[in-house]
């Protein structure tokens, strides 16, 4: 598959990408664990069909010490026993946020309340930011058909 547009080399696209990459760097110091952030990024990327983001975040999760079992089961987290209740709440919030158009009310109060039981306000703010940001990356990459497969962990560090 060939990319439709080299978004990074385009002046408008490059400026936009540098801006959202900078926003993502703010999450490095967020009070939300890297594990949870990567699980969220993987699940959103699965839902949104973003192969390049899956390539990036499965490799980054593995490099950070995440197990192959958890990486492989994130798509079926409801049936898997390897995720904590807090992680499950984050994954549910992620799914509902990615699929807002599929339900009249968007994210349910129940999903939000469940996440709020496990995360404090700063962690919730970080969780919302991670979900919003990965959705932006997913949409850019899917739109321009960026290919996946050759990412090396730490490549964008």
What's the confidence (pLDDT) of residue 50? 97
3: left (phi over 0), alpha (psi -120 to 50) or beta: beta
The two three-digit tokens of residue 30, written as one number = 């967020």
User: In CATH, what number is assigned to the domain containing residue 80?
Assistant: 1.20.1290.10
The span from the CA of 21 to the CA of 27, in Å, is 10
Within-domain flag for 5: no
As a whole-number percent, the residues of the chain with pLDDT over 70 amount to 99
With 80 as the cut, is the pLDDT of residue 1 above it?
no
pLDDT in tens, 48-86: 999 999 999 999 999 999 999 999 999 999 999 999 999
pTM of the model: 0.94
With 90 as the cut, is the pLDDT of residue 8 above it?
no
What's the confidence (pLDDT) of residue 68? 97
Phi, psi of 107 (to 5 degrees): -80, 130
Contact 43, 95 (CB under 8 A): yes
Total domains present in the chain: 1
Q: Looking at 11-150, list the stretches that DSSP marks H as alpha helix, in order from N- to C-terminal side.
A: 11-25, 34-48, 51-63, 68-73, 85-98, 109-118, 121-144
Average confidence (pLDDT) over 128-136: 97
Place of tokens 């919302």: 128
Q: What is the residue range of 131's domain?
A: 11-144
Residue 149 CB partners (closer than 8 Å, separation 6+): 51, 55
pLDDT in tens, 18-39: 999 999 998 989 999 999 999 9
What does the mean pLDDT of the chain come to? 94
Within-domain flag for 134: yes
Q: Of the ranges 11-15, 105-109, 128-132, which one carries the lowest mean pLDDT score?
A: 105-109
The two three-digit tokens of residue 119, written as one number = 């995360």
Within-domain flag for 136: yes
The residue ranking higher by pLDDT, 7 or 135, is 135
Within-domain flag for 149: no
Within-domain flag for 100: yes
Within-domain flag for 102: yes
Q: Which residue in 15, 34, 54, 55 sits closest to 130, CA to CA?
A: 34
What's the gap between Cα 12 and its chain centre?
A: 24
What's the confidence (pLDDT) of residue 101? 85
With 80 as the cut, is the pLDDT of residue 157 above it?
no
C-alpha dihedral, 145 to 125 to 47 to 105, nearest 10°: -120
């Amino acid at each position: 598959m060939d990319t439709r547009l080299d978004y990074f080399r385009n002046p408008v696209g490059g400026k936009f990408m540098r801006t959202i990459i900078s926003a993502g760097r703010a999450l490095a110091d967020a009070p939300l664990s890297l594990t949870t952030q990567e699980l969220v990024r993987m699940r959103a990327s699965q839902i949104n069909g973003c192969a390049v983001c899956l390539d990036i975040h499965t490799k980054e999760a593995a490099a950070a010490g995440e197990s192959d079992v958890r990486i492989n089961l994130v798509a079926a987290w409801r049936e898997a026993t390897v995720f904590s209740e807090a992680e499950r709440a984050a994954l549910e919030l992620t799914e509902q946020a990615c699929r807002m158009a599929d339900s009249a009310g968007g994210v349910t109060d129940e999903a939000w309340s469940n996440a709020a039981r496990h995360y404090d306000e700063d962690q919730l703010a970080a969780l919302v930011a991670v979900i919003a940001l990965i959705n932006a990356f997913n949409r850019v990459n899917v739109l321009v058909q960026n290919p996946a497969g050759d990412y090396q962990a730490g490549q964008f560090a």
